[in-house]
Chain A
Amino acid sequence: MKEETGHDCCAHHAHHHELVIEGLSVAYREILALDSVSMATSCGNRVALVGPNGAGKSTLLKAIAGLVPRRSGEILWRGTAVKKWSREFAYLPQREEVDWSFPITVRGLVEMGRYPQTGWWRSFSSDDKRAVDEALESLNLNDLQDRQIRELSGGQQQRAFLARAIAQEAHVLLLDEPFTGLDRNAAILLGDLLEKLAGEGRLIIASHHELGSAPLLFDEVLVLNTRRIAFGPVSTILTSSLIADTFAVPVAESHV
């Protein structure tokens, strides 16, 4: 669980940090959820994963995060192969996958983001405390830090998990359906926040099911239906004919 690299924000580098996915396949038992998916993107981008239900959007996020085993393929981050997990990747689960009644405060949740740095035993140093404070501060959660996580609105819950990712000093944020279930205002707020985080040099990859808002919220888009259908800048990819083709394809089996 140790990572060799320290924290250095991408924005300070002349060259961009690249995330390259090559021929990634994932299978649940015998059913192929992802079939040889490839893409390359870099820090500062916001990438939307779109596709019909069961297209493998969540699976791709989980595979990058190391939460599900790969059948084949490679993930390269800053030129180095990521074997299983990288501290610089943070996965934000779908709302319904979180145990919201777990007795933990917002601050407690954000502190969990420091566990990869502290390991199992080292007690929290002043650096760790500062990282937690800064993460809470930057996501405007200071007043809410003693709340139990269920006592937050949907947008605040997203921010709490984002704060944990920031405390972890993650560069690549993998969000599963972050806009689902948010009201208009909360969605706008989260959109601005993701723009700010990308502006700071983080790479944001999020599954997204509302095609209409994708051009406003993302820079690049990967159209997925088990296989890669298309990948590129959001303006050129999300054309009506391609979308019609993708979403008209009957999904043989839903397994996510």
Chain B
Amino acid sequence: MFEELLSSPFYQRTLATAAFIGFTNGFFSGFVVLRRNALSVSALSHTMLPGIALGILVTGVLSQWNAFLGAMFAALIVGLGAVAVSRGKRIAEGTSLAVLYTAAFAAGVAILPKLETRTELEHWLFGDILAVGNTDLWIVFSIGSVILIATNLLMRPLLLTLFEPNVAAAQGVPVRAMQYLVFGMLVLALVSSLQAVGCVLSVGLLVTPAATVSLLTDKTPALFWGGGLIGGFGATIAVLLSSPLGISPGPAIVILLGILFILAYLFSPKYGLLVPKKISKNLL
């Protein structure tokens, strides 16, 4: 029965989506971990829901594209708005983000009762990777490629910006543009995983892989590539395991990534809680 499942095109499409979303979001999770703003990722992902609601309200129908565009619009408004408001240095980015995202969420709650497709919105909360169509796969593939290409091309200025923004600025790196770029790509990554794991669980895909890697190594590039591998393999294996175990694939992906994180937290050779520490001689 399992082999039958594997040979079906829809299941293959599911596996391909899981592997690709897992890799892209796992790769990008390196930036989330370096920016130390995992909580704001969570805020952004919740912003997408009212965005979808708004999209449906404006166009009158629930389709992939207007949901995507609505989510992107809301997340961009809130995300970039938070960066812009905190530019004045009077208000911290976390503060402005919290203000804008709760306001957006409240607007979403206000719009919800006016929609006729309310039940279907739950699908957007937790995703349904088994239902991915060719359009979804294309969206995932294009967004993923854009993210991977852009981050790899701009890796050095991005790292400089994240580590020492003032030094980066002095060296001619357009720091502000880099910050907007990371934020914009974060939103793209969230939107790309909407269909698979929904806007709530997508946070797990965008934080956990690199967080796990950061427990295993101190090398910066490993955060990205290691995060990509953990995300890609983790998501694929979770989808394969989900049907024998009778769990929905979306939650299975995030649960498996969480288990890997806890294993690294406990047993990492260097930072593991349960691994005896060597007393370092060189550390004075």
A complexed with B: yes
Most chain A beta-carbon contacts within 10 A, residue among B167, B171, B217, B218: B218
Q: Please name the residue on chain A nearest to B155 by beta carbon.
A: A120
CB of B163 within 8 A of chain A? yes
Q: Quick check: A103 and B220 within 8 Å, CB to CB?
A: yes
Residues of A near B217 (CB, < 8 A) are 103
Q: Assess the A108–B220 pair: CB atoms within 8 A.
A: yes
Given A93-B164, A120-B154, does the pair A151, B170 have CB atoms closer than 8 Å?
A: no
Say yes or no for B63: interface residue by CB 8 A criterion. no
Residue from A102, A121, A153 within 8 A of B34 (CB atoms): A102
Complex alpha-carbon distance, A103 and B172, angstroms: 24
Stretch in contact with the other chain, from A38-46, A141-149, A201-209: A141-149
Contact among B159, B172, B223, B282 with A112 in the assembled complex (CB-CB below 8 Å): B159
A247 at the interface (CB under 8 A from B): no
Question: If the complex has contacts A147-B218, A152-B283, are A65 and B160 also in contact, measured as CB distance less than 8 A?
Answer: no
A93–B283 Cα gap in the complex (Å)? 22
The reply on A231 being an interface residue by CB < 8 A is no
User: Chain A: how many interface residues by the 8 Å CB criterion?
Assistant: 35
Shortest C-beta distance, B162 to chain A (Å), equals: 8
Tell me which of A102, A143, A183 contacts B282 (CB under 8 A): A143
Partner pick for B156 among A99, A115, A147, A183, CB 8 A cutoff: A115
B218 touching A105 by the CB < 8 A rule?
yes
Contact with A along B190-222 (1 / 0, CB 8 A): 000000000000000000000000100111100
Contact A1 B169 (CB under 8 A): no
A121 and B153 within 8 A (CB)? yes
In the bound complex, what is the Cα–Cα distance between A104 and B163 (angstroms)?
9
Which of chain A's residues has its CB closest to B213's CB? A103
B102 within 8 A of A: no
Of the listed residues A98, A103, A148, the one surrounded by the most CB atoms of chain B closer than 10 A to its CB is: A103
Tell whether A233 is near chain B: CB-to-CB under 8 Å.
no
Q: A1-B172, A65-B170, A120-B156 are in contact. Are A108 and B284 (CB under 8 A)?
A: no
Does A85 contact B170, Cβ atoms closer than 8 Å?
yes
Distance in angstroms from B174 CB to nearest chain A CB is 11
B119 at interface (Cβ–Cβ under 8 A)?
Answer: no
B10 CB → nearest A CB, Å: 39
Contact of B170 among A91, A99, A143 (CB under 8 A): A91
Give residues 129-156 of B contacting A (CB, 8 Å).
153-154, 156
Instruction: Kindly list chain B residues whose C-beta atoms are within 8 Å of the C-beta of A102.
Output: 34, 162-163
Give the chain B neighbours of A116 by CB distance below 8 A: 171
User: A84 at interface (Cβ–Cβ under 8 A)?
Assistant: yes
Quick check: is A9 within 8 A (CB to CB) of the other chain? no
Cα(A38)–Cα(B216), bound, Å: 50
Task: Known A99-B163, A120-B156, A120-B157; judge A84-B218 contact (CB<8 A).
Answer: no
B166 within 8 A of A: yes
The answer for the CA separation of A105 and B218 in the assembled complex, in Å, is 6
Contact between chains at A67 and B166 (CB < 8 Å):
yes
Is A186 close to B, CB under 8 A? yes
Interface pair A85/B163, CB less than 8 Å apart: no
User: Can you list 25 pairs linking A and B with CB atoms under 8 Å apart?
Assistant: A1-B172, A1-B173, A65-B170, A67-B166, A67-B170, A85-B170, A85-B171, A91-B170, A99-B164, A103-B34, A103-B214, A103-B217, A103-B218, A103-B223, A104-B163, A104-B220, A105-B218, A105-B220, A108-B219, A108-B220, A112-B159, A120-B156, A121-B153, A151-B283, A153-B284
Give me 5 other A-B pairs in contact (C-beta within 8 A), A115-B156, A147-B282 excluded: A1-B171, A1-B172, A67-B166, A103-B217, A183-B284
